[in-house]
Structure 1
Amino acid sequence: MSDVNFRELRHAPAMPVNFAKAVMRARVKPGKNPQLPNVGLRLNDVGLDAGHLAAYRKVCGFSDDGRLPVTYPHIHAFPLHMALMMEDGFPFPAMGLVHVRNSITQYRPIAEREQLNIKCYLGNLTQVEKGYEFSIFTVVSTGGERVWASESVNFFRGGGSGVKADKGSRGTPEPVTDAIEWKVPGNTGRRYGAVSGDRNPIHLYPLTAKLFGFKRQIAHGMWSKARALGQLQHELPEEAFTVAVQFKVPMFIPATVKFAREEKDGGLDFRVVAKDGVKPHLTGQLRPV
């Protein structure tokens, strides 16, 4: 991060502008030797809107406890993520990327009246079997104290190495038994899009999703993570912890899904699976730091 050239922003990038640029860059190709631009974005003194926070809590299942939901800073970082992918020299089309993994470390609970300083930058470009993966890193501080950090791993399909990664021996997962059932309405993508700014057409309506090859709209991955942590809200540690998730099979909505958790290695493992109790939409691990 020390070599990143950070640019200070006066206000958050407008998401409609970001999406318009993404459409214009839809034909960008990575070439044979893609490189990430050595840039970062910084946005200071981000004040939080009570109405926006309440809407986020409602759609993601968090209760009002005077603290920010652990996934909430991502909402304020996402416009910076999009803006980074609009930078000159960024080698991939943003509309063709898939969010495959996300890890958040919360160093302490964040009070809802604290102002946030946010910085984001790119890194870890890796060629994988079927394409490329890269990370967007985010660090959030308040009053000079680092309180939150994340890594969002995105995948571009195409130009891969063809070499399969050794994932070890993985048996068929046991169906969940002690699970909580969620009913996920068909408007979840529109409701989450309204508070997150992520109005990607694949999340909105059956027709707009079909334009991109989906049979109907799918839930946002970060909504699934937030909803899982909303379910676990009263079990989250007071001390520092990391919660990592892997996004698996898309969740077509409306849907009935199941949430299961178990204590493991001093923390929690959790899953969001289809109604059959097996097909995974999300797997996650929460561990103390």
Structure 2
Amino acid sequence: MNTLQAIIIAIVEGLTEYLPISSTAHMGFTAALMGLPESEFLKMFQVSIQFGAILAVVVLYWKKFFNFQDFNFNFYIKLACAVVPALILGKLFDDKIEAVLGNQVAISGMLVFGGFILLFVDKWFKNPKIDNEKDITIKKAVTIGFWQCLAMMPGTSRSAASIIGGMTEGLSRKAAAEFSFFLAVPTMLAVTVYSVFVKTWGEDTVTPMKGYEMILQDQEHITLFILGNVIAFVVALIAVKSFISVLTKYGFKFWGWYRIIIGIVLLIYFWNNPQSSTENNTSVETTMIQHK
């Protein structure tokens, strides 16, 4: 992976991480379309640059995360409880998720299926009762956390699953989207820390390594890691602010049609190019709670 390819993947991550269109799927498609061969560093890179996207939400909502004058202890309790289901179920279903990860045809199909769901979401939840995070109970937060687990299926989108879960609990579109952003911080932070400092990549190879060992392996990897996170951070800042505005005004239909159109196009491409559909295989830790 060269610098330009790393920049493109980081832009895709920043644009799609908080949108209901599956960042994992888009990074996988992008890598496959660029002809990048599967490598342990590429898989780790796609996970680690989530850190930049995490910082974007923390910066945009810093008063929520660091308001020590009016300390909201329940806010942190809710996030902690909501993230537990994904961490547990993600680990339990490691192997089954891994079996689907390299199949871009299946992931494209999930994009289309999820797109049709988004076309009708606004009609299903017309009368929201909650428009503020403080009105979300711990029980509702945990329920949203279980909805987030649907993103274990690659192509589903962590953002879409948790936002729809929030709306089933009576949250407005804006409140559901914002809580999805908040929930992404501990979720993706846990995934990133695990992937960089705990997980051993390439266990079946001659030189298995921790993520940080791959990053520190040479100057090029260090540069790509830093550059990827900086770009993901900047792009995510723009994407989050734009998404809230579009979602509040127009709802989910735009994203539904986007998923359907791009999913069909990619489905046709990967169906006719089966070798490309299995070249890139993103790690289970990414799709465990994301998708993305």
TM-score by structure 2 length?
Answer: 0.28
TM-score by structure 1 length?
Answer: 0.28
Larger relative contact order (C-alpha < 8 A, sep ≥ 6)? 2
Say which structure is richer in helix: 2
Say which structure is richer in strand: 1
